[in-house]
């Protein structure tokens, strides 16, 4: 099991066994380089921990414990967590500021505790085989357990083809579950229980305090500065990803003065002008005097990395965007670094995505169906998609579903995205459709919403959907942890400090989305720290060339194999003739629509996933079994 995830911890390996339990750990050494070996046990040897991630406020927690008489033998956050648990049990979770997934074996109570951080930065999966519970940071390790087989969960695949990711705890693998963000699992006496210890909250719409932006701005800047300060803690250098947008630029600006030898920054650039942001990256790097490096990604290279991307993501994906990030983390590691700050999370927490603005425009159009400014508003939404500017008002209204969705629909904000993504399901085979029956992934999502969701402001509802489902399910996993840890690189996310998230949840909607200006309060904070050109540039989401990446070069061989009618018929998930036509279309001219691009990448990645995991089962990794009843 440890061998299967050795890429996550190339700096060391250890095991712990006791009566009825076994822990395995692979280490990425960042804090306590010489004395942080894991699994780590307490002084009496009856409590042990295997821990992935960081507790950023471990210095403060350690000081509090020392004041209470605790003695420490290492300089690690692992020992702080271990002693904090020994002192107050599972209540330790309420005191942690960090990105973590950990297992604690409490031999006194004969109890196993599994916990995952609040926003779902670090992954944690588990399954049962016979009377034994197994868990791991990646599913690859679980597939090394005798009796645990790789089998597709058809409903998880349908969720991916609806909302880009499975709805946790479901995974692409039948019978293998994901511990949800902000959850703790207890296994004791043959019983397994799972509960939330934290969840993202918003006030009732009628209870929102508008407040003064100036007062809140000062508080936010202090919070973000402290969040960055905590995440700069390491016994190795800390760098930063720099996309050229507001979020990463602000984090870089706050971090640069805290790097005594200068801050190392890293970027992805593209041959395609539609996707490239290198001019803004250079502007910020030069203005902040960072040591900047970038990796240029051609379409053929994206295609060559894509099988590895699917292997590490452990699930199909609908976009190629993870591939350049996979290569970027390789650059970071090649430069001798293994920790980077990123700007991920700001769009979810401070309402930066176009989907939030789009929902506001759609609600306006529902109230004002005859307004002459409707087409102008739609064209203003996506300045980086020139094709939309050329469309008629009637087309734009139909495209965005203006006036057709019920304003009281709990998924109102996301219906256009779901419709657009779901359109790719026309390539499903009849057999797969029959397997799904009447299953509706969107309605499944609705059933999992909080009880008080309907009382929140519409913007807050949309934010919750993004932050609770897409963020951990896709952004932090397929584009985040899995691509970075493939090269032994740890990403840190200052915007996802739970204090920042809770602060933003209390803000009025207008502080975040002022008219159609996204992240309003964040732009105010950035003034004087980030070049004005970056502050005022239109939002350009991170994207990469999709189907066009697979037209030329060596990719043609494996793409042709995966998308052949024989291979498609073999998995039984898609219609062979329809996929063949789509493949032919992609080779004759670029696929322009979202549906065709999402379908092409989604089908190809599903076929790759099926070949790597289901057909090859153990995916070629040498077996390294942990025979004890609990392993992780």
Least confident of 152-156, 232-236, 368-372: 368-372
Question: pLDDT tens digit string along 153-186?
Answer: 999 999 999 999 999 999 999 999 999 999 999 9
Range of the domain at 594: 547-615
Strand order across the beta sheet in which 183-188 lies: 40-41, 47-55, 98-106, 111-116, 183-188, 191-196
Q: State both tokens at 43.
A: 């002084």
In a domain, 244, yes or no: yes
**Cβ 135 vs Cβ 632: under 8 Å:** yes
Average pLDDT over residues 418-439: 95
Q: Are residues 332 and 352 in the same domain?
A: yes
Is the pLDDT at 254 greater than 50? The verdict is: yes
Clarify whether residues 110 and 39 are in a common domain: yes
- CA-nearest of 229, 365, 295 to 544 is 295
| Per-residue pLDDT tens over the stretch 398-419 | 656 555 678 899 999 999 999 9
User: Which residues partner with 111 through β-bridges?
Assistant: 106, 188
Q: Tell me phi and psi for residue 235, to 5 degrees.
A: -95, 15
CATH number reported for the structural domain that contains residue 304 in this entry: 3.40.50.620
The vertex-14 CA angle with 9 and 17, nearest 5°, equals 140
Q: Give the residue from 332, 320, 313, 309 showing the smallest Cα distance to 270.
A: 320
Question: Is 465 or 393 the better-scoring residue by pLDDT?
Answer: 465
* pLDDT for the residue numbered 511: 95
279 or 628: which leads in pLDDT = 279
554 and 537, same domain (yes or no): no
Could you list the residues known to form a binding site for ATP, using ranges: 268
Annotated binding site: 77, 268
- Residue 149 three-state SS: coil
Closest CA to 307 of 323, 328, 295, 296: 323
- Given a cut of 90, whether residue 396 has pLDDT beyond it is no
Same domain, 181 and 291: no
Prior bond to 421 cis, omega within 30? Answer: no
Residue 428 lies in a domain: no
Average pLDDT, the chain: 91
- pLDDT tier for residue 385 given thresholds of 50, 70 and 90: low
What are the beta bridge partners of residue 25? 14
What is the DSSP secondary structure assignment for residue 614, as one 8-state letter? I
Mean pLDDT computed over 545-555: 84
| pLDDT the model gives residue 620 | 37
Annotated binding residues for L-glutamine: 77
pLDDT of residue 619: 41
Q: Which pair of structure tokens corresponds to residue 316? A: 């199909």
Q: What was the pLDDT predicted at 631?
A: 35
User: Are residues 190 and 209 both part of a single domain?
Assistant: no
243 vs 280: CA distance, rounded Å: 8
In this structure, the answer to whether residues 109 and 35 fall within a common structural domain is: yes
Q: Which of 223-237, 257-271, 355-369 has the lowest mean pLDDT?
A: 355-369
Q: Are residues 256 and 401 in the same domain?
A: yes
Q: What is the pLDDT of residue 337?
A: 96
Q: What is the mean pLDDT of residues 370-387?
A: 63
The mean per-residue pLDDT over the stretch 548-564 comes to 87
pLDDT for 494-529, tens place per residue? 999 999 999 999 999 999 999 989 999 999 999 999
Q: How many CA atoms lie within 13 A of 120 on its CB side?
A: 26
| pLDDT beyond 90 at 369 | no
Alpha-carbon distances of 253 from 231, 264, 280, 346, 584, rounded to whole Å: 14, 12, 14, 15, 47
Sign of CA dihedral 539, 228, 336, 265: positive
Q: What pLDDT, on a 0 to 100 scale, did the predictor assign at position 402?
A: 58
Number of domains in the chain: 3
| Residue 98 pLDDT greater than 70, yes or no | yes
- The DSSP-derived string for 408-449 is T-TTGGGHHHHHHHHGGGGGB-HHHHHHHTT--HHHHHHHTS
- Does pLDDT of 386 surpass 70? no
């Amino acid at each position: 099991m440890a061998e299967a995830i050795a890429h996550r911890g190339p700096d060391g390996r250890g095991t712990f066994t006791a009566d009825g339990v076994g822990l395995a750990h692979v280490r990425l050494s960042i804090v306590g380089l010489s004395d942080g070996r894991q699994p780590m046990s307490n002084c009496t040897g009856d409590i042990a921990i295997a821990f992935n991630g960081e507790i950023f406020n471990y210095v403060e927690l350690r000081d509090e414990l020392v004041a209470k008489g605790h003695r420490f033998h290492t300089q690690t956050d692992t020992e702080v967590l271990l002693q904090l648990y020994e002192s107050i049990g599972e209540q330790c979770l309420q005191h942690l500021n960090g990105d973590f997934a950990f297992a604690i074996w409490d031999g006194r109570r004969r109890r196993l505790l599994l916990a995952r951080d609040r926003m779902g930065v670090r992954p944690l999966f588990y399954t049962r085989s016979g009377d034994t519970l197994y868990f791991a940071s990646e599913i690859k390790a679980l597939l090394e357990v005798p009796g645990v087989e790789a089998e597709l969960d058809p409903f998880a695949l349908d969720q991916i083809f609806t909302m880009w990711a499975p709805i946790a705890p479901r995974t692409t693998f039948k019978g293998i579950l994901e511990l949800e963000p902000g959850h703790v699992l207890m296994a004791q006496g043959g019983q397994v229980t799972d509960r939330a210890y934290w969840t993202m909250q918003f006030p009732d719409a009628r209870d929102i305090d508008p407040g003064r932006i100036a007062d809140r701005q000062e508080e936010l800047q202090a919070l973000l500065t402290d969040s960055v300060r905590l995440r700069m803690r390491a016994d190795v250098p800390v760098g930063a990803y720099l996309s050229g947008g507001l979020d990463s630029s602000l984090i870089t600006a706050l971090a640069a003065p805290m790097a005594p030898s200068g801050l190392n920054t890293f970027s992805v650039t593209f041959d395609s002008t539609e996707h490239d942001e290198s001019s803004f990256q250079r502007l910020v790097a030069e203005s902040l005097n960072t040591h900047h490096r970038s990796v240029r990604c051609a379409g053929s290279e994206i295609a060559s990395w894509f099988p590895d991307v699917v292997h590490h993501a452990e699930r199909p994906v609908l976009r190629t965007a993870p591939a350049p990030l996979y290569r970027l983390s390789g650059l970071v590691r090649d430069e001798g670094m293994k920790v980077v700050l990123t700007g991920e999370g700001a769009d979810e927490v401070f309402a930066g995505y176009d989907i939030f603005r789009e929902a506001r425009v759609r609600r306006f159009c529902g109230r004002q169906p005859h307004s002459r400014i409707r087409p102008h508003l739609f064209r203003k939404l996506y300045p980086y998609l020139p094709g939309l500017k050329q469309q008629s008002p009637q087309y734009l209204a139909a495209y965005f579903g203006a006036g057709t969705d019920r304003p009281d629909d709990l998924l109102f904000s996301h219906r256009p995205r779901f419709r657009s993504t779901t359109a790719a399901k026309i390539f499903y085979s009849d057999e797969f459709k029959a397997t799904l029956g009447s299953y509706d992934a969107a309605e499944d999502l609705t059933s999992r919403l909080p009880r008080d969701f309907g009382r929140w402001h519409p913007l807050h509802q949309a934010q919750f959907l993004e932050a609770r489902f897409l963020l951990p399910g896709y952004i932090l996993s397929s584009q985040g942890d899995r691509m970075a840890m493939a090269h032994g690189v740890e990403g840190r996310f200052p915007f996802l400090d739970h204090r920042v998230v809770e602060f933003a949840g209390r803000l009025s909607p207008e502080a975040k989305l002022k008219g159609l200006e996204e992240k309003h309060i964040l732009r105010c904070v950035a003034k004087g720290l980030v070049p004005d050109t970056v502050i005022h540039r239109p939002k350009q989401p991170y994207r990469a060339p999709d189907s066009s990446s697979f037209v030329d070069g060596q990719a043609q061989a494996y793409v042709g194999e995966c998308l052949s009618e024989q291979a498609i018929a073999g998995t039984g998930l898609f219609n062979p003739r329809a996929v063949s036509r789509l493949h032919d279309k992609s080779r004759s001219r670029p696929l322009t629509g979202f549906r065709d691009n999402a379908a092409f990448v989604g089908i190809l990645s599903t076929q790759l996933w099926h070949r790597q995991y289901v057909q090859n089962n153990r995916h070629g990794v040498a077996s390294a079994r942990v025979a004890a009843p609990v392993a992780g």
